[in-house]
Amino acid sequence: MVFTRATQPPTAPVPGVPTSPDATDASRQDDGRRRGARYFRRLAGTDIDEALAFFTGDYDFRAPRVRRTHTQQHWDFAGVGDARMSLRSSRLLVDLQTESLVDDEFLVAWMRSGTSTITFQGREHALEPGVPVVLPFAEAYALHHRDIGLNLVHLDRDFVRSVVGEDDFAFEPMRRPTAEGLRAWQSVVRAHSGTWLDVEHDLTPIVQRSIAESFVAAAVQAFPRRDRWRSSVTGSGPEHDRLRRALEYVHAHAREPIGTTEIAEAAGLSPRGLQQSLRRHLDQTPGDLLRSVRLDGARVDLLRADRDVTNVAEIARAWGFGHLGRFSATYRARFGELPSESLRTR
């Protein structure tokens, strides 16, 4: 996946566009965000100190360390965005190590060239060319870029949460999408990036918002959500690890006809051991856990569905709820509204 049009990395400064960040350029970008219009920014240069100052503004680089990899250093950036979303492309031809932290946007990144390793919570993740991941959100992580060419989609945190309908929604960082999710993400990039990046043509507010919502929907489909259960399982012993494996399995396979036997096998526990572990740490049974995860999944689908092409019964069945009346009652007890009310709010 490669962005084209406006975000194709320039090899020289663009006439009429500043080659380093300044107040005029920042003001133009802020004005565009306030109006809801798309803003366009394109920069290029050889001064790496300027590059670090520019990227630190968006990614909060902390004590960056740079090593030269070429006789002639080079960096460039291009991006088109509004208050909800931006599509960006950047290149930095140096060896860069730094910490970073972003807490107001969700960042989907994929590498075009070079190498990049993200270290998060003690684990190293090597980016793969063309494979998108969601970078860590609201937690510091270390990055090591070498001669990196990178595409990014920035999605405003509050906009994503409003579309999803959850005030604390977040993605699970550094997890590869499934094959189906990758296809959904690539489809949206192919379908809409050219239109979004064509800054010579205005988009109506409806079209502009629709494109941003399409990217959010594809991201939700492609990338795992960061669920609250992760913080509820504390500790580092063998039992905690097995319980996390059980929860991982449930969240990955909740749409499938699974039960206690399959969950226990995935966790390396006996069915009785699974029941005891869940009761001890989460005060739940395997059935409670599976039902809760399925309800959460159904709610996400209801909130983002088009009520003209789907209905509550279809979504309920997709998540393993065969009795619509019981599903509606359980859903209302959990979320304070009927499934039909969630579907109508979009």
Residue 260 has pLDDT above 80, yes or no: yes
pLDDT mean over 107-116: 97
Choose among 267, 272, 294, 298: nearest CA to 285.
272
Return the pLDDT at 21.
Answer: 39
Inter-residue contact 220 to 304 (CB < 8 Å): yes
Lowest mean pLDDT among 135-139, 227-231, 321-325: 227-231
Number of Cα atoms under 13 Å in the Cβ half of residue 201: 9
The mean pLDDT value of the chain amounts to: 86
Distance CA 56, CA 121 (A): 21
Confidence band of 229 (pLDDT split at 50, 70, 90): low
Confidence band of 11 (pLDDT split at 50, 70, 90): very low
pLDDT mean over 142-170: 94
| Residue that wins the pLDDT comparison between 177 and 90 | 90
Q: Residue 180 corresponds to which tokens in the numbers above?
A: 């189906």
Q: Residue 167 corresponds to which tokens in the numbers above?
A: 């005030």
Distance CA 145, CA 154 (A): 19
Confidence band of 139 (pLDDT split at 50, 70, 90): confident
Confidence band of 2 (pLDDT split at 50, 70, 90): low
pLDDT mean over 79-108: 97
Lowest mean pLDDT among 5-9, 153-157, 158-162, 206-210: 5-9
pLDDT mean over 329-337: 93
Confidence band of 3 (pLDDT split at 50, 70, 90): low
Residue 67 has pLDDT above 90, yes or no: yes
pLDDT digits over 26-65, tens only?
Answer: 444 444 444 468 999 999 999 999 999 999 999 999 999 9
pLDDT mean over 96-116: 97
Return the pLDDT at 237.
Answer: 73
Return the pLDDT at 26.
Answer: 41
Whether the predicted model's global pTM rises above the 0.85 cut: no
Return the pLDDT at 148.
Answer: 97
Return the pLDDT at 82.
Answer: 96
pLDDT mean over 294-308: 85
How far, CA to CA in Å, does 338 sit from each of 118, 165, 301, 314, 334?
42, 14, 14, 15, 10
Angle among Cα 64, 65, 68 to the nearest 5 degrees reads 130
> Which domains does the chain show, CATH number per domain?
5-222 (2.60.120.10), 229-344 (1.10.10.60)
Confidence band of 228 (pLDDT split at 50, 70, 90): low
Lowest mean pLDDT among 18-32, 35-49, 81-95, 308-322: 18-32
Bridge partners, residue 142, by sequence: 99, 119
Confidence band of 232 (pLDDT split at 50, 70, 90): low
Confidence band of 12 (pLDDT split at 50, 70, 90): very low
Q: Residue 15 corresponds to which tokens in the numbers above?
A: 């006439």
| Residue that wins the pLDDT comparison between 309 and 171 | 171
